[in-house]
Structures are given as structure tokens and as C-alpha cells.
Amino acid sequence: MEEQRNKLPNFLLSVKLKYVKLGYHYLISNAMYLVLIPLLGVVSTHLATFSLKDLIQLWEILKFNFVSVTLCSSLIVFLATLYFMSRPRSIYLVDFACYKPQEDCICTRETFIEKAYLFGQFGDEILSFQKKIVERSGLGQKTYFPSSLMRVPPNYCMEEARKEAEEVMFGAIDELLEKTGVKAKDIGILIVNCSLFNPTPSLSAMVVNHYKLRGNILSYNLGGMGCSAGLISIDLAKHLLQANPNSYALVVSMENITLNLYLGNNRSMLVSNCLFRMGGAAILLSNKPSDRRRSKYQLVHTVRTHKGADDKSYGCVFQKEDDTKKVGVALSKDLMAVAGEALKTNITTLGPLVLPMSEQLLFFVTLVGRKIFKMKIKPYIPDFKLAFEHFCIHAGGRAVLDELEKNLDLSEWHMEPSRMTLYRFGNTSSSSLWYELAYTEAKGRIKKGDRTWQIAFGSGFKCNSAVWKALKTINPEKEKSPWIDEIHEFPVHVPQVAKIDS
């Protein structure tokens, strides 16, 4: 016992290394202040020794160098003016709204399999395959299908597809205009993105006609850009707002299911049937300085990555006809590997913009050790939890969320908005990021100064990011969103396999 008392404690067990790393992070992040504060103290002490006679002497020197003082002052004023005139305009997210369909559009897991059977297009083997996908999908019992597909037989025609588009877009826009108090005539920029449904006139023209928007509006309709098109729309709106002062930009993100249900037997094309559900979102952006006080967020960064030059990436999500000439979207087996490469490229660009110096230094030292000194050490994965408080990861499917949770070393709390959105609303394509942000707000998690990272993947293959900074603390009691009436029910446990009764 005496020998045990004389032994030193095991510091690796008694001191948690994560706290050591946290201390290192704060030390490096505040290194500039730690150096400047003593320096300012020395300068202040020196200035305190100045007497009135010293100040008068300094004034006499400046008086006899009037031309130099005037030139220096003018140069300072000119450079300050040039800086303030040329710096990018701040982009604010005034508010956003997510569409919540009517209860008669609710499609349980059992209802989905029942409808697939009643369609009469699938054999027993294909029905069994879809059943397995739905059971492992992470989708819950209250996702939504358009009313046209809830009928037996389904009515998938252009008229019904237009009805679905109008219901989703106008429902979200009406709520947004009500929340913000902005008049439709005040909107100067309109961007609508929908990957698979592109009628003529366009969806953006449909919005212009319904709300009687002004004739000189800058309207854009983005198609075929997949689930990451929502952030492409945000990036496009950002650049348009930089060029058009005192403007509002309305972004509408959605997908249309009515005409895009695959009724063939190609398994790679059937997965999208099991995951995609009805939904959409409308977002109002502004570059008006006067809107800062009432806006929720400020756009900090957008980073876009396109891997379409690589054939494997280009073809991993591909709309085509099967052997029986039925159209569907085929998902390649290489999808996860392609997504991983796109993510790596995207965060390599984003990292230096958002990560604290402590993480960048660790990454650089590890890289030098591996590449130059050939040291056998693992690549250092930066801790993005030091850069962001909240994560909104596109709810494309359970496998995607599992991989990102592991690769980014995120906790269940960080993944909760994405997993609950997938469970409650399914994969609503480009709008899923906004359901996730609405979930975070409804939980009362958004505090002033918090940073949120939205990241989405899409066909092409693309990986896009947007970073937002909260301008105020969001009070969920004052919010209107699809989660508010039921947020107390979440989070829920999502089993690996949710059996469907035959």
C-alpha cells in the first residue's frame, strides 16, 4: 500500500485530453490578443509620461509640416472611402417558410407499400425490394405524397404536376410574405429550383403570374441540378444582390413527385421512389442595411464544388430510360464514394474560411509530416464543431447521414435536425435543409452569434455549402413552422429496421 501511495498518477487517465485540446484551441485563437494587450499596456504607460510641454512641442512640429499632414489625412480618407465603397454588400436572410401539406397527403410506410401494390406495375420480388428499402430508410409514419399519387389508380399527368407545384410553392410563399410583411411588388429577384419538373411556362413564370410580380424582375428557373440546387440558388441570389442595391430576393426550393414516380423494375431506379416525398421552402434575402435589425441570419460564405468533369461522378445520379423505356433516376453503387470525394474537396475550400487557426495549424503540421517527412501518421480531420454550433446536412438518406456523422465526428445532438427531418418529412430534395433549420429554431437552439453550416449533395456531381450567422436569438414561441405544433414529440428513436406488416 505504501508503494502504491508513492506512485505518480497516470496523467493520461486523470486529465482528459479533450480539455487539453480545448485549452490549446483558446490559446492559439486568442494569441493575437495575448500579444497585443501587453504591447498596448507598454505604449499606454509610455504615453502617460507625456507632459503638456511635450504635446505642445509635437503640435509645433506638425504645424510646420502642414502639407505632409494634409496629404496623409487625405490619403487616409480616400482609402477608407474606397474600402467602404468596394467591400461586398451584406446579405441578410429576413425569414423563411417550409410548406406542410394537408393531412390527407400523409403516407405511412404501410400506405406506401399498399399503393405500390395497387398500382399494379410491380411484381412480388420488386415489392419486396421496395419494402426492405422503406424499412431501412429512416422515414417515419407521417411523410407526404401528393394527392394525385394517393389515389388508386394514380393520376400522374401534367395538370396534376402543376397542381402539386402550385400547392407547394404558393403555400410556402404565402406564409413567408405573411411572416415578413414584404409586399410581392417589392421583390426584385426571383429564383426557383426544381430538378425534375420543368414545364413551359416555367415555374418562376408561374410565381410571377400568381403574385403579379413587377415586369422588370430578375427571374431564374434552375432545373436538373439535383438536391444541392437550393444552395446554388442562394449563391446565385448572393451574386445578384451584390449587383443590385436595395433589393429583395425570393428563393423557392422544391421537387415535384407527380410525374417522376418510377414504375419499372430497375432496382437502382426504385430507391428514389422509397425516399423522396412532397415538400418545399421559400426564403427571403435582402441587401438593405435597414433589414439587418429584423433579419434572422447573415450569409457569411457559400462554397460550390462541381465534380462533373469526372465520368464516374457525372453518371452516379442519372435520369434515363430502363430496358422497357420507363424513365427514372438511377443511383450508382459508386454514389457514396463520389459524395465523399466531393465533400473532401468542398471542406478543403471551406476549412480555411471558417476553422480557427488552432485547427488549421494542426492540419498543416500533420500534412507536412505525412507529405514531406513521410511520417506514418493518420491524416488530421479538422474539428468543424469548433467552427459551427449547428449542422444542417441534406436528409438524402440514412446512409448519407451515417457517413457524414462518422467522417465529421459529429454527435447525435448535431445530427438530430437532419435525422428528424428525414423521419418526419422524408427526402424533400433541396428544401430539406430548411426543414432542418426550422427544427433547430423550434427547439430553441439558435442563439445570437451562432454559426450554422448547411451542406447538400446533388447530381452532376455537386457538393455545396452555405454558412449563416444568427443575428438574434430565435424565440420558438414566436415562430411559425411545420414543427411548432409537434416539436415536443421529438427527437424520437429511429430503429435500424422498422418492420412493415404484410
- Which residues fall within 8 angstroms of residue 489, CB to CB, at 6 or more apart? none
Are 206 and 165 in contact, with CB atoms under 8 Å apart?
A: yes
From the candidates 193, 256, 346, 427, which is the catalytic residue?
427
Question: Locate cell 482609402: which residue?
Answer: 79
266 flagged as catalytic: no
- Residue among 170, 347, 131, 362 at smallest CA distance from 252: 170
Pairing of strands 462-470, 218-222: unpaired
- Cα four-point dihedral sign 372, 377, 381, 383: negative
Neighbours of 342 (CB within 10 A): 24
From the candidates 221, 260, 273, 306, which is the catalytic residue?
306
Residue 376, C-alpha cell as written in the block: 506514418
From the candidates 98, 107, 390, 392, which is the catalytic residue?
390
394 flagged as catalytic: yes
488 flagged as catalytic: no
Are 450 and 473 in contact, with CB atoms under 8 Å apart?
A: no
From the candidates 227, 316, 392, 463, which is the catalytic residue?
227
Helices (H) and strands (E) in the chain, counts: 19, 13
- Residue 259 exposed, middle or buried by CB count within 10 Å (0-12, 13-18, 19+): middle
Residue 491: asked if its preceding bond is cis (omega within 30°), the reply is: yes
Q: Please state, in angstroms and as integers, the Cα–Cα distance from residue 390 to each residue in 88, 148, 255, 360, following that order.
A: 25, 36, 25, 20
From the candidates 316, 394, 414, 464, which is the catalytic residue?
394
How far is 57 from 79, CA to CA, in rounded Å?
29
Q: Compute the C-alpha angle 502/261/155, nearest 5°.
A: 90
Are 427 and 502 in contact, with CB atoms under 8 Å apart?
A: no
DSSP string computed for 120-156:
T---HHHHHHHHHHHHTS---S-EE--HHHHSSS---
- Residue 86 exposed, middle or buried by CB count within 10 Å (0-12, 13-18, 19+): exposed
Q: Compute the C-alpha angle 214/218/222, nearest 5°.
A: 125
306 flagged as catalytic: yes
How far is 438 from 338, CA to CA, in rounded Å?
29
390 flagged as catalytic: yes
Secondary structure letter of residue 88 according to DSSP: P
Catalytic residues: 227, 306, 390, 394, 427
